[in-house]
């Protein structure tokens, strides 16, 4: 019982420092996922283009991301970017996370685009719409709807993965937990505390994604 | 055939998919306000021919002349050509994420740049015409097959095409819904729309068609006025085909 009480004491007393870490985690996640989404859309379009070279470029990117651990990608981009173009730690971390999620998002979007019936493209083209207009107005809106559950899932993974940028010295949620744990020589309550924060974030995101899915299901 | 001007003229049209030679030296003329009906067995190339006419498939060889102008992929903006050649598909292909009216105004507003209010006004008139004036605000998923196909016809008409292509417009419908689509097409024909129709509805071909073309194995075997072709087919293949479907 005293263990549980101790955990609650730690949780309450550490609210201030964790809120700071929480803000950084949210900023990192939002920035990296927005960029990852743009990267993902870009490479998805390369993959479905009929141009071999563009497909190869997309394949190479996805191969590199899949074939190396995220922590390696973060360190390479951190040392690469901060030394070469003097990016700060935050943006180096964002770059590493976005580079990573972008590949998975590309595959999700590509799959969703290819799952849309070919008749949709033909209907658009038969009305005089260009291929670009058909993609933008007819195919992508349907593909995004279909991708919402997978994208939501990938966003959740992205948020949890953002904990790895603590290894380049970011004091986001996990960084705060590690620092507090070692400062107080008392690890478990702080790691439990950080677990609660992640659970809450993921719960909120899950509810939002479910609401979005319901709303979009209305027309189908 | 009427003395009207030539809307579509096809000469020595050839199309292959890889090694598969699907259209072989097709010659065909569609005059303004005529209804040309394409019939033939599955795989004979009817859809491919239709799709070559609006350049959803690109021919390998031969000439396609539309309203007196020979159309080539190299020299023409095919999107502009497709604005003039509407198409209705077997499986409707309505846009499921848009309402009925949204489907209809999409191309006029996005392609032709017509003002939204104007497009809505014209769209509602078209919906009235196909008997769906009260359905403008619903999503396609709530409609029956026959209603979907009538919306698809209205959507194509919204671009004010000069020709309409129909690829088996009633083949995906429950039998009791075929009539409403055919009668919409008949109305359209009576207004003078030029139409090329692939169909297995021989009653429609006989009643509404001005010219019937029978295809077999990528070639036009025989063509003629419906009465002649149905009652007195000259070619043995045509006779066989007709007796197999009647
Ligand atoms: N995109 C394609 N790629 C390869 N082969 C194709 C393609 N489209 C059609 N074909 C082939 O071309 C031939 C003619 O097909 P088409 O669809 O034009 O026939 P159809 O007369 O419309 O038949 P159905 O009555 O079944 O619709 C068939 O053998 C078909 O398999
Ligand atoms: Mg066909």
Of residues A125, A130, A133, nearest to B56 (C-beta): A125
pLDDT band with cut points at 50, 70 and 90 for residue A140 = very high
Q: B74: part of which helix (H) or strand (E)?
A: none
Q: Which of A90, A204, A126 is nearest to B106 (CA)?
A: A126
Set of chain A residues whose Cβ sits within 8 Å of the Cβ of B152: 123
Whole-angstrom distance, CA of residue A108 vs CA of residue A106: 5
Going by the DSSP 8-state scheme, the letter that residue B134 receives in this structure is: G
pLDDT computed for residue B208 by the predictor: 96
Give the CA count within 13 Å in the CB-facing half-sphere of A12. 6
pLDDT band with cut points at 50, 70 and 90 for residue A83 = confident
pLDDT computed for residue A4 by the predictor: 87
Q: Which residues of A71-110 are buried (b: 16+ CB within 10 A; e: fewer)?
A: eebbbebbeebbeeeebeebbbbbbbbbbbbbbbbbbbbb
* Residue B173 in tokens: 């419908």
Nearest CA in chain B to A215: B97
DSSP 3-state of B40: strand
Of residues B82, B94, B97, nearest to A126 (C-beta): B82
Residue nearest to ligand 1 atom 8, measured at CA:
B48
pLDDT of residue A78 exceeding 60, the answer is yes
- CB burial of residue B174 (10 Å; 0-12, 13-18, 19+): exposed
Q: Is A146 left (phi over 0), alpha (psi -120 to 50) or beta?
A: alpha
pLDDT of residue A86 exceeding 90, the answer is no
pLDDT digits 0-9 by tens, B109-144: 999 999 999 999 999 999 999 999 999 999 999 999
Ligand 1 centroid to residue B111 C-alpha, Å: 29
In chain B, which stretches have pLDDT less than 70? 1-3
Interchain contact, A123 vs B93, CB within 8 Å: yes
Give chain A's end-to-end CA distance (angstroms, integer): 52
- Say if residues B95 and A123 touch (Cβ distance below 8 Å): yes
Whole-angstrom distance, CA of residue A139 vs CA of residue A124: 9
* Residue A28 in tokens: 């990192």
ipTM exceeding 0.85? yes
Please give, rounded to a whole number of angstroms, the shortest distance from the CA of A108 to a CA of chain B. Answer: 20
Give chain B's end-to-end CA distance (angstroms, integer): 25
Largest CA distance in chain B: 56
Q: Which residues of A134-159 are buried (b: 16+ CB within 10 A; e: fewer)?
A: bbebbbbbbbbbbbbebbbebbbebb
pLDDT computed for residue A98 by the predictor: 96
pLDDT computed for residue B191 by the predictor: 95
With pLDDT > 70 as the criterion, what percentage of chain B qualifies?
Answer: 99
Ligand 1 within 6 A of B42 CB? yes
What single string gives the DSSP state of each residue in B135-193?
GTTS-GGGS-HHHHHHHHHHHHHTT--SEEEEESTTTTS-HHHHHHHHHHHHHHHHTT-
Q: Which of A95, A203, A219 is nearest to B102 (CA)?
A: A219
DSSP 3-state of B18: coil
Q: How many contacts does A have with B, using Cβ atoms within 8 A?
A: 69
Q: Which of A213, A192, A194 is nearest to A147 (CA)?
A: A213
| Selected residue of B97, B108, B154 to mutate for chain A interface (largest A Cβ count, 10 A) | B97
Helix then strand count (H, E) for chain A reads 10, 0
pLDDT computed for residue A220 by the predictor: 60
Whole-angstrom distance, CA of residue A157 vs CA of residue B35: 58
Instruction: Please name which ligand lies nearest the alpha carbon of B200.
Output: 1
Nearest CA in chain A to B81: A128
- Say if residues A118 and A95 touch (Cβ distance below 8 Å): no
State whether the Cα torsion B228-B233-B234-B235 is positive or negative: positive
Helix then strand count (H, E) for chain B reads 9, 10
Q: Which of B8, B72, B67 is nearest to B38 (CA)?
A: B8
pLDDT digits 0-9 by tens, B224-235: 999 999 999 999
pLDDT digits 0-9 by tens, A51-67: 999 999 999 999 999 99
Nearest CA in chain A to B88: A123
Is the pTM here over 0.95, yes or no? no
């Amino acid at each position: 019982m005293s263990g549980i009480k101790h955990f609650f004491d730690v949780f309450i007393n550490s609210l201030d420092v964790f809120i700071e870490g929480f803000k950084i985690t949210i900023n990192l996640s939002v920035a990296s996922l927005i960029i990852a989404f743009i990267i993902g859309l870009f490479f998805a379009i390369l993959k479905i283009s009929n141009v071999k070279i563009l497909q190869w470029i997309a394949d190479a990117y996805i191969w590199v991301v899949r074939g190396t651990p995220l922590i390696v990608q973060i360190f390479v981009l951190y040392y690469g970017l901060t030394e070469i173009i003097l990016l700060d730690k935050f943006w180096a971390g964002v770059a590493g996370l976005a580079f990573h999620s972008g590949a998975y998002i590309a595959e999700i979007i590509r799959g969703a685009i290819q799952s849309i019936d070919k008749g949709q493209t033909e209907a658009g083209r038969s009305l005089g719409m260009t291929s670009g207009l058909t993609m933008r107005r007819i195919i992508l809106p349907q593909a995004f709807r279909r991708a919402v559950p997978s994208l939501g899932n990938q966003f959740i993974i992205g948020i949890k993965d953002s904990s790895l940028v603590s290894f380049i010295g970011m004091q986001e949620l996990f960084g705060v937990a590690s620092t507090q744990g070692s400062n107080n020589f008392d690890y478990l309550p702080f790691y439990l505390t950080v677990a609660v924060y992640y659970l809450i974030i993921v719960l909120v995101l899950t509810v939002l994604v479910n609401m979005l899915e319901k709303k979009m299901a209305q027309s189908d | 055939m009427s003395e009207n001007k030539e809307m579509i003229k096809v000469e020595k049209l050839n199309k292959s998919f890889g090694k598969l030679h699907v259209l072989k030296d097709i010659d065909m003329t569609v005059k303004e306000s005529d209804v040309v009906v394409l019939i033939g067995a599955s795989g004979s190339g009817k859809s491919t021919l239709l799709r070559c006419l609006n350049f959803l498939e690109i021919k390998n060889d031969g000439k396609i002349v539309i309203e007196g102008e020979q159309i080539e992929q190299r020299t023409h903006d095919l999107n502009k050509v497709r604005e003039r050649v509407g198409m209705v598909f077997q499986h409707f292909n309505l846009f499921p994420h848009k309402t009925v009216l949204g489907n209809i105004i999409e191309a006029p507003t996005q392609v032709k740049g017509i003002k939204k209010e104007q497009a809505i006004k014209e769209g509602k008139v078209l919906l009235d015409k196909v008997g769906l004036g009260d359905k403008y605000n619903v999503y396609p998923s709530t409609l029956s097959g026959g209603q979907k196909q009538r919306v698809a016809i209205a959507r194509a008409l919204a671009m004010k095409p000069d020709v309409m292509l129909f690829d088996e417009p009633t083949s995906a419908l429950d039998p009791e819904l075929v009539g409403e689509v055919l009668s919409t097409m008949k109305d359209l024909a009576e207004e003078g729309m030029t139409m090329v129709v692939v169909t297995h509805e021989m009653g429609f071909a006989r009643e509404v068609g001005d010219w019937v073309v029978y295809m077999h194995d990528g070639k036009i075997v025989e063509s003629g006025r419906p009465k002649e072709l149905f009652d007195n087919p000259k070619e043995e293949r045509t006779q066989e085909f007709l007796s197999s479907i009647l």
